[in-house]
Structure 1
Amino acid sequence: MSEFVRATLLLYRQALQATGSSLIRNWILIIAVIALTIFMFLITGVARPLGMLGGFLLGAANAFAVGALLGLLEQAVMSTRRMTWEDLWQAAGQYFWDVLTIGFIVLLPLQFLELGMQNNPYGPMIVSAIFFLLFLLLNPVPEIIYQSRLGSPLDSLKESYEFVLENWIEWFLPLAFVLAPFGLSFFFGISSQGGRLSGLDFLQLLQLPLAILSQLFQFFGFSSSLATVMVLLFTPIGVVAMMLFRGFLFKALHGSSRRQRQFRARSL
């Protein structure tokens, strides 16, 4: 057990160091998150009164935003080259179909499930439990899309399931640690919303850093107006740091076994 703890702590330390270096080197990612957030809010305002057509428009916009972000993360995590403004244009449209297809595969059955459970007194509980399960099993899908690059959506879902079964402790421990101060209600709220698109929801990516920063600034006694300004300023940085850490952690876990990591930790 002590070897496992030591190897896991070393894994997190290396992922944090890589995240810090990449964040400084690829600060353009923060600008990209701000621009994509503005884009998503504009599209949401346009799509809201359009009914079903608006839903398709919003889904396509989300796939574009998430796909572009994953393309930029691929550059930041898989390469040591400093990101340039040209990379922003090259990432536009990247992984669009991957995100859209996986979202469709997950979303359509869940919509039928929700409709079928409307008259069931246990329906909301059953649906929430399924959303929670999907949130766990499909959580690493974003990293699989831009690191494994399998091409087939079904293969991506299969690899996500296998990855979680093998690495669930190392993968979810940081999330549990961060969410511990908020209690289980916040965690289940995140999971129930994320199950619909397997975590591939751009506006949801803002939710966790936004909530953490809001609580943090309130704890330190910031006034509500100042806290709001600080949260808006630091949330894009938090999103980038979170996704970079996930990317480097996935890269380390996917490229080694638990036994290999323990052997490496003993030699250090």
Structure 2
Amino acid sequence: MVVLKDLWYLNKDAFKKSTELLMKNWGLILTGFIYIAINIVLSLVISTLFMGVLRILSGIILALATASMLSNYLYLLQNIIRVGKFDLEDFKRGFTALLRKVYSVLLIGWLASVLYSMILSPILGSLGSFITMLIPILIFLLLNALPESLYQKFYDPWETVTYAFEFIKENWLEWFIPNTIFIVLLYILSGRLFLDLFSINFSLGLDLSLAGLITFIIGQVIFSFMMIYRGVLFEELSKSTRRKRIYMRDLYK
């Protein structure tokens, strides 16, 4: 009963605050179009200029561009959660604000996958192939709060990863109940399960038909609300315990 009461008030407060923040920062919904436009232009430039041997550089450029867009989006969320708004200067600054940290975390993930593929997977044989299929799901579950840890905590890249794991271990019930609802909504809308923690804001794709555009916009509204909601929920859970929240509510009621 105590757990249910805490869940109710926790999500009631998060829903109210997230709704207010999205209404004040509706421009966040439009960022999906901007990131898709950047991806299209970048793809055209790379396919035109980086031919032959230069194709080796294209992977590095795409990785940096992805990290830069992730940095931008997370920086906007950081401003929304901390000060309640973002402006044009924040948007311009966002492409580099968290770039080093985001790129380092992506690099850790890439190195881990390479080491697993080269060393562990061959040793494990057929079991290794099965584990390879499970890894994205395990990462999604155990490090689900990694985006929020990146922009709300001032840790180095490795400490950010470990903090995200510890956060889920301590708050898995409070965290996954609302997030599961959002995942189901996005699945109903798009027909896809989004298990990539960094498929931020341009993951729904863009169909230029009228129905496709309407679906995309609805998806962006849900996605933007979800990311703000996650940020609000993460902030509350990371600075309190269930006992503390219940005590404070009983004290001020």
Q: TM-score, normalised by structure 1?
A: 0.79
In 1, the alpha carbon distance for the partners of 2:128 and 2:92 equals 44
Describe how 1:207-246 pairs up with structure 2 within 5 A. Answer: 207=203, 210=204, 225-246=209-230
AA of the residue aligned to 1:175: N
In 2, the alpha carbon distance for the partners of 1:45 and 1:232 equals 23
Kept in 1, the 8 Å contact 2:146–2:161? The answer is yes
In 1, the alpha carbon distance for the partners of 2:227 and 2:164 equals 16
Question: How big is each residue's C-alpha offset from its partner over 1:135-157, in whole Å with a ceiling of 9 and x where there is no partner?
Answer: 2222211111211122x111111
Structure 1 pair 97/127, CA: closer, same or farther in 2 (3 Å)?
A: same
Kept in 2, the 8 Å contact 1:47–1:55? The answer is no
List alignment gaps of at least 5 residues for structure 1.
215-223
Kept in 2, the 8 Å contact 1:19–1:245? The answer is yes
Q: 1:261 aligns with which of 237, 245, 252?
A: 245
Structure 1 pair 144/175, CA: closer, same or farther in 2 (3 Å)?
A: same
Structure 1 pair 31/7, CA: closer, same or farther in 2 (3 Å)?
A: same
Deviation at 1:265, TM superposition (A): 4.6
AA of the residue aligned to 2:224: V
In 1, the alpha carbon distance for the partners of 2:146 and 2:46 equals 26
Kept in 2, the 8 Å contact 1:163–1:254? The answer is yes
AA of the residue aligned to 2:13: Q
In 2, the alpha carbon distance for the partners of 1:190 and 1:137 equals 15
Kept in 2, the 8 Å contact 1:46–1:54? The answer is no
In 2, the alpha carbon distance for the partners of 1:231 and 1:167 equals 32
In 1, the alpha carbon distance for the partners of 2:182 and 2:220 equals 17
Structure 1 pair 27/141, CA: closer, same or farther in 2 (3 Å)?
A: same
In 2, the alpha carbon distance for the partners of 1:225 and 1:68 equals 28
Kept in 1, the 8 Å contact 2:150–2:160? The answer is yes
Q: TM-score, normalised by structure 2?
A: 0.83
Number of the residue aligned with 1:102: 105
Kept in 1, the 8 Å contact 2:171–2:237? The answer is yes
Kept in 2, the 8 Å contact 1:77–1:244? The answer is yes
AA of the residue aligned to 1:227: A
In 1, the alpha carbon distance for the partners of 2:46 and 2:199 equals 16
AA of the residue aligned to 2:106: G
Number of the residue aligned with 1:22: 21
Deviation at 1:266, TM superposition (A): 4.5
Kept in 2, the 8 Å contact 1:206–1:235? The answer is no
Report the more deviating stretch, 45-54 or 61-70: 45-54
In 1, the alpha carbon distance for the partners of 2:57 and 2:180 equals 37
Number of the residue aligned with 1:32: 31
Q: Secondary structure at the match of 1:92?
A: helix
In 2, the alpha carbon distance for the partners of 1:23 and 1:95 equals 22
Question: How big is each residue's C-alpha offset from its partner over 1:228-248, in whole Å with a ceiling of 9 and x where there is no partner?
Answer: 121122233222211101100
List alignment gaps of at least 5 residues for structure 2.
none
In 1, the alpha carbon distance for the partners of 2:112 and 2:145 equals 20
Describe how 1:59-74 pairs up with structure 2 within 5 A. Answer: 59-74=63-78
Q: Identity over aligned residues, as a percent?
A: 24
Q: 1:134 aligns with which of 118, 129, 139?
A: 139
Structure 1 stretches of at least 4 aligned residues deviating more than 6 Å after TM superposition: none
In 2, the alpha carbon distance for the partners of 1:63 and 1:180 equals 27
Kept in 2, the 8 Å contact 1:73–1:244? The answer is yes
CA RMSD between the two structures: 2.8
Q: Secondary structure at the match of 1:122?
A: helix
Residue 252, structure 1, aligned to residue 236, structure 2: yes
Question: How big is each residue's C-alpha offset from its partner over 1:66-125, in whole Å with a ceiling of 9 and x where there is no partner?
Answer: 001111111111113x43222222223110011100000111221332355379333332
Number of the residue aligned with 1:149: 154
